[in-house]
Amino acid sequence: MSSPSGRSGLHPGTVDMTHGGGGRAMTDLIEDLFRRHLTNPILDQGHDAGVFDVPPGRLAMSTDAHVVSPLFFPGGNIGSLAVHGTLNDLAMAGAKPVSMTAGFILEEGYPLSDLERIVISMAEAAREAGVPVIAGDTKVVEKGKGDGVFITTAGIGVVPENVAISPAAARPGQVVLLSGPIGDHGVAILSKRENLEFETEIRSDSAALHGLVDAMISAVPHIAVLRDPTRGGLATALNEIAHASRVGCVLHEEDIPVRPDVQAACELLGLDPLYVANEGKLICICEAGDADRLLDVMRSHPLAMQAAKIGDIVEDDDCMVTMQTGFGGARVVDWPSGEQLPRIC
């Protein structure tokens, strides 16, 4: 990892209460650790608020709180995840992200070198996405009152004209597209959880999807619904859409991409991949006639090469999500009740 200015290596020492106290130590931390890596013209203005020009169009604004355990996982850490999550919230409304902010809540005693790794990866994710972090804040809580690092963010974007994406816009006859294999993020996290450890090459799919969405909207501006199936997985996202749109959804199990390793981890822990979290996938609901065109666009994008049509929107007063199983039967794909816990029976 590069070290931009004179200092070589990562920051030594640990977070202590003076870092949140408003004095010299806090200013040094902000200058030396946050601003140094996140640098951009708006942040570098040095205000507490970032001042910027707004492109024409309707504004979209999102807010997101990030807690993840462990903070570092295969394929990312809480820093990159915070950027991707914020930008995806905007993208799923059809918005092009403009800028974002980040607030850090740090636990006393947290190693500054780890904090710096988090900030570096946040900066890299923001740079890659082309979206600057234009304001930030830091607070410190006493040891035992936090889990290392929490990050809250806000994002601002602009929705192009003629785009009217809404979770309530699904209609019978439309089809459900999925951008790629499900469950990678959740399984990558579980593989590092205490008492569950297993070895796997699975990495989190954490990624910013606004580029993909931009390509999709350019091809088909009247997409009905976009949704990133994060916590609660594909099943939860589809149930939310079915309820918001007052429709049913029929999935085809054999068409839903799941990596063999993810399926295997789920078998071992008694989990259902339909309910496992993703951080770089999207569901798209569109007119049946637009499906092939959208799938072509998606499959030529690096983040959606395995995009597939996985189901159909149907009329259903009960707003149920059901699935034709590969075995030949049918089942209801219900809302989950809380986080899926590994089970033995």
Partner 1 sequence: MKYIREFRDGKLARRLGTAIANEVKADRRYHLMEFCGGHTHAIFRYGVQDLVPDNVEYVHGPGCPVCVLPVRRLDDAVELALRQDVILTTYGDMMRVPGTKQKSLIKAKAEGADIRMVYSTQDALNIARDNPDRQVVCFAIGFETTTPPTAVAIQQAKAEGLTNFTVFCNHVLTPPAIAHIVEAPAEPGETPVRIDGFLGPSHVSSVIGSAPYEPAARSYRKPIVIAGFEPLDVMQSTLMLIRQINQGRHEVENQYTRVVTRHGNRKAQQIVADVLECREEFEWRGLGTVPHSALRIRSAYGEFDAENRFALTPKASREVKSCECPAVLRGVKKPTECKLFGTVCTPDNPMGACMVSSEGACAAYWTYGRRREAALSKREAAE
Partner 2 sequence: MCLAIPARVVSVEAGDMATVALEGIRKPVSTALLDTVNVGDYLLVHVGFALHKLSEDEAERTLKLMAETGVLAEELAEMADGPDTATEGETGG
Binding partner at 302 among partner 1, partner 2, none, C-beta below 5 to 8 Å by kind = none
- When asked if residue 145 is in the footprint of partner 1 (CB under 8 A), the reply is no
CB of 307 to partner 2, least distance (A): 23
242-271 binders of partner 1 (CB under 8 A) = 260, 263-264, 267, 269-270
Cα 297 from Cα 285, distance rounded (Å) = 15
Cα 184 from Cα 320, distance rounded (Å) = 25
- When asked if residue 320 is in the footprint of partner 1 (CB under 8 A), the reply is yes
Quick one: which segment of 78-86, 106-114, 136-144, 323-331 binds partner 1 (CB under 8 A)?
323-331
Tokens 């798209």 locate to: 284
Residue closer to partner 2 (CB basis): 202 or 209: 202
- When asked if residue 144 is in the footprint of partner 1 (CB under 8 A), the reply is no
CB of 27 to partner 1, least distance (A): 37
CB atoms within 10 A of CB 33: 21
CB of 339 to partner 1, least distance (A): 10
- When asked if residue 326 is in the footprint of partner 2 (CB under 8 A), the reply is no
Q: Is residue 4 a contact partner of residue 123, using CB atoms and an 8 Å limit? A: no
- When asked if residue 239 is in the footprint of partner 1 (CB under 8 A), the reply is no
Q: Which of 2, 56, 195, 201 binds partner 1 (CB under 8 A)?
A: 195
Burial 114-130 (b: 16+ CB within 10 A, else e): bbbbbbbbbbbbbbebe
136 bridge partner residues:
102
Provide the CA 333 distance to its chain's centre, in angstroms. 22
Binding partner at 328 among partner 2, partner 1, none, C-beta below 5 to 8 Å by kind = partner 1
Q: Would residue 131 be called left, alpha or beta, if left means φ above 0 and alpha means ψ between -120 and 50 degrees?
A: beta
CB of 204 to partner 2, least distance (A): 15
Q: Of 2, 97, 104, which Cα lies nearest the Cα of 52?
A: 97
Residue closer to partner 1 (CB basis): 56 or 338: 338
CB atoms within 10 A of CB 2: 6
Residues lying near partner 2 in the complex (CB under 8 A): 198-202, 260-261, 263-265, 267-268, 270, 343-345
